[in-house]
A and B are shown apart, each in its own frame.
Chain A
Amino acid sequence: MILLIGTVKIRLVHPRNPTQARPLLHPPTPAPYTTTFIRELPTFTSPQPSGISISSSSSSAEPGPSSSTASSTGVVSGTTTTSSAVILTAAGGDGGDDGDDSDDDGEDNSNNRGPSSRSRQSNSRYRGNNRYSGMRRTHAAFHYDPATFVHVTDIGNLERHCPHCDALAFPNERRGICCNSGKVFAHVPAPPPLLLELANGSHQYSQHYLRYIMQFNGLFQFTSFAADIQFMSDNHGNRAWNPNFKVLGQVYHRIGSLFPSSGQLTKFMQIYFLSQSEQLSRRRSIFDGLNPELIQLLTAMMNTENPYVAQFKSAVSTIQHSSTRSLKVRSNMYSTA
């Protein structure tokens, strides 16, 4: 069992030296492992040439109809991971078109399996590895090339939509997760135009806003986040580096008093009760590097659009002229059902 896993591993991620494979004009000198590798290749049976021809045609950029589906069915069905990886590299070698020593085509290689053709096949393999070895070892997903990448699972388009709530879904997605057949409804009002422009990229500060959106939200949030965060400690009991954010118990949000106690800076909700200019300077001082103009725009927007700001402000004015010591927040009266 262990032995089997070991061989599979060696086949798939054998360390190859791309610099050795570089001189294509020289007659190919197969690496010592290549012969054993070729001997264990699965023989190409009848459906296989489709995979090879498709990949070569797509690498020469012909707009073949239904090429992706044909290649995915032709290659993936009935072959293991190892064999499809082999086809991938063979396709890369065939599409290489380096002129002088290029093979006729993949079909020819696969059919006659004499020693000479074996060496040529190894050559094409070799060149394929030269081109793709680096990308396969690291960050393969970031160098995705649809011409050679054959492990494509087609999940369809986002084309089905729920008759009750207009939610879009993929064809095989489970039904009813969007609105439970019309039983769930939540009112989602249209956002203010400023936020819409910032989010969809049409505002001049969109890029800045979206990059620092968590900081911008931090400037305007009423409550603060709190949890019993678990830290791993090192051998000396100091706080070590923690790869995960781990919470014991509940995550909760906390809200402070309406006014800061003496000597304290205004925080979170308390900032909203300052004057406009004071709000601006206070908000600017929280994070470095945020655009002050955008802070001003967002402050103005929050003061006009957000119902809680008005609610808290009126509460502040009444609480200052009365003996009331505390106030209760009622939720905003949007319907959720």
Chain B
Amino acid sequence: MVPAGEHRGRYNTPSRNNPEVAVVFDDTATAPRDIVIRQHDDKLSRISEYHASYDTLQYPLLFPGGENGYHFGSPVTCMKHYAYILMLRKSQNPSQSARVRFSILHASKGLFQQFLVDMAAKTISERLLYFRTHQEEIRAEAYSSLLDQAASGGSLNDVGRPVRLPSSFFGGPRYMYNRQQDAFAILRRYVDFRATLS
């Protein structure tokens, strides 16, 4: 059943049962860096995404040897680390007929997809954490928070300590604004009439 007032197609069954994560909003709370296990406890403690054991403890069949995942202190970013892991590589054995080195990760079907989604969420939250802690470097003070709040139609009483996302953050408001400006610039050159739907 589709709720009243909603578009009929919105609740269509996905054509494939693929996992998908939409990170709506980033929580400011971060877990402690260490994994601490107590002897008897009803509570579950949360382990940090940036602990190197995060991946192998959740996906023991993908990383059976206890390989380290991305962690704080690693010299590369989270995205670079997983981009490296996800590449198909040339077979080391030249006599082998297959040119591509067999990767247990890529052969793992649904578990691989689940892993991808999990790591994508981790990558995004790592970037958001960076922006939250490096507001000076992305020159957030150049944007007056009052002006932005007024422009977005929000109440001026709600102005707190917002986190500004730079325009390079995919899907952020500044990113979307830039893309829209680009689209209109292109349209102005090539198209006589245009209709916008919103």
Contacts and interface: CB of A to CB of B under 8 A. Distances in A.
B167 interface: no
A253 B58 CA distance: 7
Contact of B36 (A166, A186, A326): A326
Interface stretch (A77-85, A109-117, A147-155, A220-228): A220-228
B1 interface: yes
B49 A258 contact: no
Interface stretch (A30-38, A49-57, A60-68, A300-308): A300-308
B193 to A, nearest CB: 7
B39 A243 contact: no
A308 B53 contact: yes
A146 interface: no
A214 B114 contact: yes
Interface string B51-82: 11110111111101111101100111000110
Contacts of A259: 39-40
A261 B42 contact: yes
A214 B110 contact: yes
A248 B46 contact: no
B122 interface: yes
Given A217-B111, A329-B35, A248 B25 contact: yes
Given A230-B24, A253-B58, A179 B40 contact: no
A178 to B, nearest CB: 5
Given A1-B193, A178-B83, A249 B118 contact: no
Interface residues of B, number: 82
B158 interface: no
Contact of A255 (B37, B67, B68): B37
A199 B67 CA distance: 18
A232 B3 CA distance: 10
Contacts of B43: 257
A251 B100 CA distance: 33
B65 A245 contact: no
Given A165-B84, A245-B19, A331 B68 contact: yes
Interface string A132-151: 00000000000000000000
B110 A213 contact: yes
Given A220-B61, A336-B81, A331 B87 contact: no
Contact of B99 (A168, A177, A232, A307): A168
Contacts of B111: 213-214, 217
A177 B121 CA distance: 19
Interface string B1-32: 10110000011111000011111111101010
A252 B80 contact: no
B148 interface: no
A254 B32 CA distance: 12
Interface stretch (A95-103, A121-129, A189-197): A189-197
Contact of B121 (A161, A178, A247): A247
A44 interface: no
A336 B63 CA distance: 14
A274 interface: no
B176 interface: no
A168 B49 contact: no
Given A180-B80, A261-B40, A334-B68, A255 B47 contact: yes
B61 A332 contact: no
A167 B85 contact: no
B115 to A, nearest CB: 9
Contact of A254 (B47, B71, B75): B47
B21 to A, nearest CB: 6
Given A168-B100, A186-B68, 8 more contacts: A213-B108, A213-B109, A228-B27, A245-B20, A256-B41, A307-B66, A332-B68, A334-B66
14 contacts: A177-B83, A184-B80, A186-B67, A214-B111, A221-B57, A222-B57, A224-B44, A230-B24, A243-B14, A248-B24, A250-B26, A258-B38, A326-B39, A328-B37
Interface of A: 1, 158, 161-162, 165-168, 177-180, 183-189, 191-192, 195-196, 199-200, 210-211, 213-214, 216-217, 220-226, 228, 230, 232, 234-235, 240-241, 243-259, 261, 269, 298, 301-302, 305-308, 312, 315, 319, 324-329, 331-332, 334, 336-337
